[in-house]
Amino acid sequence: MDSAASARAPPHPVQNGPEREPLFRARDLTKVYPSGESEIRALDGLDLDLYESELIVLLGASGSGKSTLLNILGGLDVPTTGTLTYRDLDLTGANEDDLTLFRRDSVGFIFQFYNLIPSLTAKENVALITEISRDPMTPHEALALVALDDRMDHFPSQMSGGQQQRVAIARAIAKRPEVLLCDEPTGALDVKTGITVLEAIEHVNQTLGTLTVVITHNAVIADMADRVIHLSDGQIVDIQENKSRRPVRSLAW
Amino acid sequence: MLSPLDLKLLRDIGKMKGQMVSVSIVMACGLAMMIMARSLILSLESTRDAYYADHRFADVFCDVKRAPNALRSRLARIDGAATVETRVTGSAKLDIPGLAEPADATVISLPDDRPQQLNLLYLRSGRLPEFGHADEIVVGEAFANAHGFEPGNEITATIYGARETLKIVGIALSPEYVFEARPGETLPDNKRFGVFWMNERDLAKAFKLDGAFNNVLIKVAPGASPLGVMAELDRILAPYGGLVAFDRHDHPSAQRLNDELRVLHGLSFAFPAVFLSIAAFMSSAVLTRLIRLQREQIAQLKAFGYSSTQVGFHYLKFAIVIVAGATVVGGGAGMCLGTGVVQVYHRFFRFPELHFHPNWKMFGVAFAVSAGAAFLGVIGAVRQAVKLPPAEAMRPEPPAEYKMSIVERIGLSKFLSTTFRMAWRNLERKPWQAFFTAFGLALATGIPIVPGAMGDSIHYLLSIQWDVAQRQNVTVSLIEPGSASALTDIRSLPGVMIAEPFRTVPARLRFGHRSRRLAVTGLPRDAYLNRLLDDKERAVELPPNGLLVSAKLAEILGAKVGDPIILEVQEGKRPTLEATIQGTITDYAGVFAYMEINSLRRLMREGGTVSGAYLSVDTNHWDDFLARVKEAPRVAGVFIKEAVRGSFKKSTGEMIGMITTIYFTFAIIVSFGVVYNSARIALSERSRDLATLRVIGFTQREVAAVMLSELIILTVAAIPPGLWIGSQLAAAIVHTASTETVRMPLILTPHSFAMAVVVVLCSSALSFAVVSRRLSQLDLLGVLKARD
């Protein structure tokens, strides 16, 4: 499949019609990092549209540009050239304050190493977000979504890795974000725990209709996605559309 | 070629230079003070010793009423006396053009028929008086400088009632007037007091002492005891009206210089000790944090085969760099300050030359002391780091364990924001770190109190002395004790509203084996002008019999109220009397013994004798009064309170102001250093959390609030104990700076406390601002990728 062409084409209809406006629209996105006398092109003229409710898996080797793309989508970084819009917001020319506001209101992040605040309990870690959001769920609701409402008063050090990652998911989704960005969410976990975490992500995607982008090294995980985007050397080499998503429960690696 | 480990050292230092510099600077402040004080001590002591030796400063001194020159040979035979010099001394009243009030001078004879052997003059300019020139004088430098006198100028003086015009032929210094002030006076008043030297024969004639002397100097032979010489001297001079002989220990100028050195000794220890201990805490905090961050690197080094000693030494090198920087900066600053301060000292203590001698040995000691302090602070963390097996160290530290804080467990959690909850739990999780940070902040709060308290103390001392206790504006002393008619004469001077007589009797006070030379002062019982005060500033009435003594004198004599004191009177018939201490008074400069004036006269078996009077003079008649008193032949000296106060403000006040400014500056630097360092450590420890908060949508301001709330809690908690510590520190330093000449009371005003709080809050605000700026440089992506 021609990657550039298909990336620009409307995606496979997921729930609604093909005339839907994309949430993210990236055109000729390039990110160049200076590296001594040479430079690294982390993203190299990338075109991409991402839609509401989609579950996207980004696959690619180390250095293929997955994380750079995710960071730029999440407003943690800005492209060197090209344009990126989120609805009507131009993320290319946004300043620090706009990006902070964008992250605060619209984006949920999940990291490989959970990044919970160790001095706060599960509930309080979630409350960190709900205190500054416009229309949040209660911490209790968010934790219930990841099936951790019975661990609300535990500190991170009192929970397993999988539980900590689910708290991180609850924290990310408590503000009802339109976008959930997950960077190797299962990278630090064993298979069984990884499955429970992915189930939580799948559950959130399905119940809240949040556009979810998951970075992974693990090709098996790709089966849970609507679309699988393969990156290499900062370019999209393939976009694979799954006719039907495999339930996480049935995945194994 | 640097080893890779040393390159790592250099680059790590480059990355944490802010903190290294802040620790170094605090340490440097301590070292600067230590090196400044120690070098001043060395400069003063070495200059003094060389001056005393080169100019043959006598060891034993004695005044006598009148002894014939024929006695010289007998004095020379005193066992243990190497050199004996006899002199004529007295006082002269001076009429200086442009100076409304009279000034006075001590006039000392220079031998004209034999070479001068002791207390040799150092001629700054001009020459010594020529034989037979009765009007030629050499003038002490401090007085000459105060008036701009040079050889060739003339001065009108009244010597023993005779008015004469004297011609200055030389400007000189003498080892017995290193501190050129009236004997017993705490502050120099170089405008109104000078020292003159003139030919012996002419001076003796002027004082009606032809063929006689009234002052003896003795140089004690090496190995001989001054005590034996003094006893023998007293015995020989007794029939001639000899006063008690004394040695350098009691010599007014030598004693004043020794007191100053004692203060410097104290300060060279007290302040630096505080600063260096703060610096030790700070370096410990910085390096402990560094080692924790580099846990994995340490494991790798060990895995490569570096020994624990090599790794340990690598981290100790950080401390060495901090200390070396501090020694260089502190040493340089100490030398600069010392060079400046020594010039100020030179205005008070007159030496032919006073050069700043850096105390190089002290640099070594300073380096060793601060290196020791830094090592102690770091060694624990280094040992812990190298003890860990590499495999274990390479794994990240287990997640930090937290629990509900005490505040929450007692049910106050609903009052706390999430931010404050985080702060509380962090503090409770590392109570020792919190304690030491708070302790550093408390010291930073306390230190600025000290210079404030020193300034207030001097201010209080002077206002008590000059406004509360002494209400006279003029004190007049007579050449010789006079009869009641002398008081009548004084009362009749223009403008005199109140005149209260006083009687001073030179005596040796003895209790047990301790004794003290001083003048017992007789005052009227209901004194209105010169009042005696207790420690609550209340006037104390003189008892009808017995003594009221300075609390310090009682301490020196080891006596208490009710104890009988032997008075060996050194005047008139020189009776030996006994008087009981009836009470003590609180005064701050010198030591005194007082008696009710009539009771003293009864003991002395005399009538209405007076030595002088305290006056309240109507300022409307001021000029008339001064003109008349200048002419009055029986008046030896006139002390005008406002004039002394003015001269104090210009000289001593300036010096105290300078010292206070130095200390205050150091206090601010320390305060800033401690807070900045704590904030940097907080930033480093929490950078991962803070970056996470930034990523999930917290603004920079909100993140700053999270980081700062911990420090705000600590700062607020540190202020009350800090004020207490500051009070204790001030008490200790004021105590150190107190000598017999000046005893500084501990005065703590709300102003000092407020100033200290303002200093710590401002430096907190400033360092928070500096550190908050670094929040914008947080590596959001990097910090999320890497594990702690």
Q: Write the pLDDT tens digit of every residue in B606-659.
A: 888 999 999 999 989 988 998 888 878 788 778 888 887 877 777 677 777 887
What confidence score (pLDDT) does residue A19 get?
62
Give A-chain residues touching B403 at CB under 8 angstroms.
155
Pair (B612, B738) in one structural domain: no
User: Whole-angstrom Cα distance, residue B258 to residue B277?
Assistant: 29
Cβ-Cβ contacts under 8 Å, A126 against chain B: none
Query: Domain boundary at B617, B633, B659, which?
Result: B617
**Does residue B223 lie in a domain region?**
no
Q: Is A33 on the interface with B (CB under 8 A)?
A: no
B399 falls in which pLDDT band (50, 70, 90)? low
Q: Residue A88 burial (CB < 10 Å; 0-12/13-18/19+)? A: exposed
Q: Is B631 contained in some domain? A: no
Could you tell me if B579 and B508 lie in one domain?
A: yes
Residue B391, domain member (yes or no):
no
Tell me the C-alpha distance between B262 and B256, whole Å.
Answer: 10
Do the strands A55-60 and A211-216 form a parallel or antiparallel pair, or are they unpaired?
parallel
Residue ending a domain, choose from B599, B617, B635: B617
Do B445 and B505 lie in one domain? The reply is no
Name the interface residues of B facing A (CB cutoff 8 Å).
Answer: 398-403, 418, 421-422, 425-426, 429, 688-689, 692-700, 702, 780-781, 784-785, 787
In a domain? residue B624: no
The alpha helices in B401-529, defined as continuous H runs, are 406-407, 418-429, 431-446, 449-463, 484-491
- B305 lies in some domain: no
Confidence band of B783 (pLDDT split at 50, 70, 90): low
| pLDDT level of residue A23 (50, 70, 90 thresholds) | very high
CB contact under 8 A, B689 and A97: no
Yes or no, beta carbons of B402 and A97 under 8 Å apart: no
Give the mutation candidate from A105, A119, A124, A131 for the B interface (greatest B CB count, under 10 A): A119
AA identity, residue B741: T
- The pair phi, psi for residue B240, each rounded to 5°, is -105, 15
In this predicted structure, what is the pLDDT of residue A10? 41
Q: pLDDT-based confidence at B484, cuts 50/70/90?
A: confident
Which whole-number Å values give the CA distances from B602 to B164, B355, B546, B572, B598, in the listed order? 38, 53, 12, 13, 6
Mean of pLDDT values over B712-728? 92
Q: Do A119 and B699 touch (CB under 8 A)?
A: no
Can you tell me the mean pLDDT for A209-235?
92
The helix (H) or strand (E) run that includes residue B88 is: none
Interface of A with B in 35-64 (CB under 8 A): none
Percent of chain B with pLDDT over 70: 97
Asked if B182 and B162 count as a contact pair (C-beta separation under 8 A), the reply is no
Residues B149/B155, Cβ–Cβ less than 8 Å = yes
Same domain, B610 and B648: no
| Residues B479/B636, Cβ–Cβ less than 8 Å | yes
Cα distances (Å, whole numbers) of residue B532 to A111, B592, B600: 79, 11, 17
CA angle B24, B711, A99 (to 5 degrees): 105
For residue A183, what is the nearest residue in chain B, using CA coordinates? B785
- Span A36-80, pLDDT tens digits: 778 888 999 999 999 999 999 999 988 899 989 998 999 888 899
Find, among B676, B671, B659, B679, the residue nearest to B758 by Cα. B671
pLDDT digits (tens, 9 = 90+) for B487-546: 999 999 999 999 999 999 989 899 999 988 888 999 998 889 999 998 888 889 999 999
Residue reference for tokens 């550039």 = A4
Q: Does A154 touch chain B (CB under 8 A)?
A: no
Which among A76, A103, A119 has CB closest to B422? Answer: A119
Which residue bears the tokens 């409402």? A149
Same domain, B726 and B767: yes
Q: pLDDT at position B655, please?
A: 74
Would you call A156 an interface residue with chain B, using a CB distance cutoff of 8 Å? yes
Number of domains in chain B: 3
Nearest CA in chain A to B690: A117
In Å, what is the CA distance from B631 to each residue of B57, B147, B162, B257, B634?
A: 36, 21, 10, 35, 9
- B785 band by pLDDT with thresholds 50, 70 and 90: low
Least confident interval from A52-56, A242-246, B134-138: A242-246
Name chain A contacts of B773, Cβ cutoff 8 Å. Answer: none
Largest Cα–Cα distance in chain A? 54
Output the six-digit token pair for B218.
């003795």
Q: Please give the helix or strand (H or E) that residue B377 lies within, else none.
A: helix B360-387
Same structural domain for residues B649 and B613? no
B446 plus B510 within the same structural domain:
no
Q: Are B562 and B607 found together in one domain? A: yes
Question: Residues B337-357: what's their mean pLDDT?
Answer: 88
pLDDT of residue B273: 83
Structure confidence at residue A12 (pLDDT)? 43
pLDDT score, position A11: 44
Quick check: B689 pLDDT over 90? no
Q: How far apart are CA B423 and CA B401, in angstroms?
A: 14
Residue A71 touches chain B, beta carbons under 8 Å: yes
Q: Same domain, yes or no, for B608 and B689?
A: no
The pLDDT of residue B398: 63
Q: Which residues pair with A25 in a beta bridge?
A: A49, A85
* pLDDT computed for residue A14 by the predictor: 44
| Residues of chain A found within 8 Å of residue B702, distances taken between Cβ atoms | 132
With bands split at pLDDT 50, 70 and 90, how would you rate the model's confidence at A15? very low
Contact (CB, 8 A) for B676 and B22: yes
Residue B559 shares a structural domain with residue B666: no
Domain span holding position B732: 430-468+643-788
Angle between helices B17-54 and B360-387 (to 10 degrees): 150
Residue B215: per-residue pLDDT: 95
In this predicted model, what pLDDT tens digit does every residue of B86-135 receive, in sequence order?
999 998 888 888 887 788 899 999 998 888 999 999 999 999 999 889 89
Is A157–B425 a contact, with Cβ atoms under 8 angstroms apart? no
Report how far residue B155's alpha carbon sits from residue B109's, in angstroms, rounded to the nearest whole number: 17
Q: Nearest Cβ partner of A118 from B400, B698, B780?
A: B400
The pLDDT confidence band at residue B60, using thresholds 50, 70 and 90, is: very high
pLDDT score at B376: 78
Most confident of A197-201, B402-406, B573-577, B766-770: A197-201
Query: Does one domain contain both B544 and B585?
Result: yes
Rounded to 5 degrees, φ, ψ at B221 are -65, 150
Q: pLDDT, tens digit, for every residue of B222-241?
A: 999 999 999 999 999 989 98
Q: Choose among B418, B426, B785: nearest Cβ to A127.
A: B418
Considering only CB atoms, B781 lies closest to which of A76, A156, A158, namely A76
Element (H, E) at B109: strand B103-110
Say what the pLDDT of residue B55 is: 96
In Å, how far are A100, B88, B139, B605 from B106, measured between CA atoms?
82, 11, 10, 30
Q: What is the mean pLDDT of residues B128-154?
A: 93
> How confident is the model at residue B389, as a pLDDT?
72
Residue B115's closest CA among B53, B49, B56, B175?
B56
Tell me whether residue B625 is in a domain: no
Domain boundary among B173, B188, B208: B208
**Taking CB atoms and an 8 Å limit, are B699 and A103 in contact across chains?**
no
So what's the pLDDT on residue B177?
95
Question: What is the rounded distance in angstroms from the CA atom of residue B596 to the CA atom of residue B598?
Answer: 6
More confident residue, B409 or B58: B58
Q: Is residue B671 part of a domain?
A: yes
Q: What is the mean pLDDT of chain B?
A: 87
Task: Name chain B contacts of A97, Cβ cutoff 8 Å.
Answer: 699
- B388 by Cβ neighbours in 10 Å (0-12 / 13-18 / 19+) ranks as middle
H or E element in which residue B284 lies: helix B252-293
Per DSSP, the residues of B213-234 read: EEEEEEEEPTT--HHHHHHHHH
Based on the fold, state whether residues B607 and B671 are members of the same structural domain: no
| DSSP-derived pairing of the beta strands A179-183 and A107-110 | parallel
The ipTM of this complex is: 0.76
Cα separation, A23 vs B101, whole angstroms: 95
Of B426, B699, B784, the CB nearest to A100: B699
Query: What is the percentage of chain A residues whose pLDDT exceeds 70?
Result: 92
CB contact under 8 A, B400 and A71: no
**Is B122 a member of any domain?**
yes
Could you give all domains of chain A from N- to C-terminal order, each with its CATH number?
Answer: 52-81+96-250 (3.40.50.300)
